[in-house]
Amino acid sequence: MSRSQPHPIQLRPVGSQDALASLPKPPAIQTPSSHSWASLCGPPPWGLGCLLALQHILVLGSLLCASHLLLLRSLPPGGLSYSPAQLLASSLFSCGVSTALQTWMGSRLPLVQAPSFEFLFPALVLTSQKLPLAIQTPGNSSLMLHLCEEPGCHGLELWNTSLREVSGAVVVSGLLQGTLGLLGAPGHLFPHCGPLVLAPSLVVAGLSAHKEVALFCSAHWGLALLLILLMVVCSQHLGSCQLPPCPWRPASTSSTHTHLPAFRLLSVLVPVACVWIISALLGLSVIPLGQSVPTEAPWFRLPHPAEWDWPLLTPRALAAGTSMALAASTSSLGCYALCGWLLHLPSPPPHACSRGLGLEGLGSVLAGLLGSPMGTSSSFSNVGTVSLIQAGSRRVAHLVGLLCMGLGLSPRLVQLLTTIPLPVLGGVLGVTQAVVLSTGFSSFHLADTDSGRNVFIVGFSIFMALLLPRWLQEAPVLLSTGWSPLDVLLRSLLTEPIFLAGLLGFLLENTIPGTRLERGLGQGLPSPFLAQEARMPQKSREKAAQEYELPFPLQNLCPYIPQPLRCLCPLPEDPGNEEGGPAEPGETVDLLPGFGEQCPKASRELRSQ
């Protein structure tokens, strides 16, 4: 194993054959990091791709278990009328379908779709009860949901009714998101979201889950700290360590061997596996005494609508669903911007944002119809994982979608997720959310940080977005207007930190006078992409823009799409449609800013310098 000297390497997307490529240092607008961006010229081998996909599934599983646990513990005393594994399997299946559609014909970014806290907060308001954590294990270290099979169980019908109402809210949110996407609303709003809107949203996104992370970590601080320490060491201290050459021939290279920064690429999978094994050896993941053993879930089950009952649509569900749609849309647009920025792509064009949000809405509708209490949206935690391991790949995202759909068909396999120790959930979410927080801070420099206007917008947006949910929680008297649906809507919106930060930042940014240079804007593009696009030759810029286009077979259908829905297709004047017509997305090799040629021969391998 060799340890290379730090050298700047950039994340590289190459369509369906994307991987990571080591490059000479491009002109930078800031001091480069002391750590390199891992890269390999050409598609990763299937073995490595499967490991990276499994890593993202672990992060997705952490979000899945955390959100379901926090919701189910807020319901009245009682239990589920079906196996918890079946509930998780339905959610995982919908996440897989949404991820596959998103990477194929949505935003085309390697984004993993997962349940997010933007769906959890309105669901908690809708259930209208907050009970102490009732799921107890030795050391409170494992997620063990159980069935209520005792004759004296109470609240069983209330459980089912509450979950049906939450599922109805998820369906409503999906329909609203899909409508916004079909109308092209995200594409019209996104160009007005500069760094003073994006940065506060990312900072608040990283900070908003700190209470939940602390709750899970407090189950066993020793295991949580061990996991965090291993993740930091693998991704940062050992990030430039490379394994000996392996027999793999990347695309566009003549060498049959290459070095892999395995510690960084697997900086989530390896620590999670180690801590999970340690917790099992210490007996912290066994079923506690005095608690029912979960009923064995079936090996195969095809999720279908109304398997348990149809979602319940009520005025309260409509109000909560509206809040979910607004918050999830704000969060997803931030994910699009962050992922494109990390991959050094141009700003997501309007048609990509509209398609992405529309397909996310479709995924949430599917999740609600399958009985899931959580919708699907682009996952900040998985984008944080991309930044942590410095590897982004559409192929890996496709594998994640297919594997999630496969696992969703087997509740018995999904039942393994219910044995994830709570410190593992907290540690994984803590590190990935911290990375999202850091990217928010790093984007502040793109605007004029000496401007009093900008300082006020950033500080006010962040502080008020964190203050209002806390105020609502600590208020001696709940917000009450006399009409229950309106109360649910207002309480839900006021408990969504990301929505509040995005809304406040957007309103202040676009109403307080300021020059475009002061705001960090130019030519109508958000500033995070402006500097890197300025360094890109026209040819490379056009090739990069093609990454957002529809797959070639679907491009032929664009002329037949009704005029109101043309916002989902690239405009004729888009770069990808100039000079030679549309090209197949992903067929190009060079998509890196500032370099018109293919990966240099001298940098085709990650080598010691």
Interval 120-132 mean pLDDT: 72
Choice between 303 and 603, residue whose per-residue pLDDT is larger: 303
Task: Identify the pLDDT of residue 571.
Answer: 67
Helices first, then strands: H and E counts in the chain: 23, 6
- What one-letter code names the amino acid at 500? L
Query: How many CB atoms neighbour CB 288 within 10 A?
Result: 14
Residue 569: name the closest of 362, 332, 352 by CA. 352
The 10s digit of each residue's pLDDT in 548-587 is: 888 877 777 777 777 677 777 776 654 443 333 333 344 3
Give the global pTM: 0.80
DSSP string, 74-99: TSPSS-BSS-HHHHHHHHHHHHHHHH
Task: Identify the pLDDT of residue 368.
Answer: 93
6 pLDDT more than 60: no
DSSP 352: H
266 pLDDT more than 80: yes
Q: Which percentage of the chain shows pLDDT scores above 70?
A: 71
pLDDT category at 330 given cuts 50, 70, 90 is very high
3-state secondary structure of 258: strand
123 pLDDT more than 70: yes
Cβ proximity of 211 and 473 under 8 Å: no
70 pLDDT more than 70: yes
Task: Identify the pLDDT of residue 505.
Answer: 94
Cβ proximity of 106 and 145 under 8 Å: no
Token duo for residue 365: 């509708």
Q: Please provide the average confidence, as pLDDT, over all residues in the chain.
A: 75
Among 229-233, 334-338, 599-603, the minimum mean pLDDT is found in 599-603
255 pLDDT more than 80: no
CA 422 and chain centroid, separation: 20
DSSP string, 134-177: ----GGG-B----B--STT---HHHHHHHHHHHHHHHHHHHHHH
Token duo for residue 426: 């907290």
Alpha-carbon gap, residue 463 to 456, rounded angstroms: 10
Distances (CA, A) of 446 to 379, 482, 532: 24, 45, 11
Query: How many CB atoms neighbour CB 600 within 10 A?
Result: 13
Task: Identify the pLDDT of residue 43.
Answer: 58
Query: How many CB atoms neighbour CB 554 within 10 A?
Result: 15
4 pLDDT more than 50: no
Task: Identify the pLDDT of residue 455.
Answer: 92
Question: CA dihedral in degrees (508, 201, 93, 178; nearest 10)?
Answer: 10
Distances (CA, A) of 228 to 139, 427, 594: 19, 6, 36
363 pLDDT more than 90: yes
Alpha-carbon gap, residue 415 to 80, rounded angstroms: 15
306 pLDDT more than 60: yes
Alpha-carbon gap, residue 24 to 123, rounded angstroms: 49
Choice between 305 and 589, residue whose per-residue pLDDT is larger: 305
16 pLDDT more than 50: no
442 pLDDT more than 90: no
Alpha-carbon gap, residue 48 to 44, rounded angstroms: 6
Task: Identify the pLDDT of residue 462.
Answer: 95
CA 68 and chain centroid, separation: 17
Token duo for residue 141: 């270290």
Token duo for residue 338: 């962050």
Residue with tokens 């390497």: 9
Query: How many CB atoms neighbour CB 209 within 10 A?
Result: 24
Q: Tell me the HSE value of 607 on the side-chain side, using a 13 A CA sphere.
A: 12
When mean pLDDT is compared over 288-297, 308-317, 429-438, the highest value belongs to 429-438
Phi, psi of 210 (to 5 degrees): -65, -35
Among 209-218, 240-249, 418-427, the minimum mean pLDDT is found in 240-249
3-state secondary structure of 31: coil
pLDDT category at 538 given cuts 50, 70, 90 is low
Task: Identify the pLDDT of residue 76.
Answer: 61
Task: Identify the pLDDT of residue 161.
Answer: 77
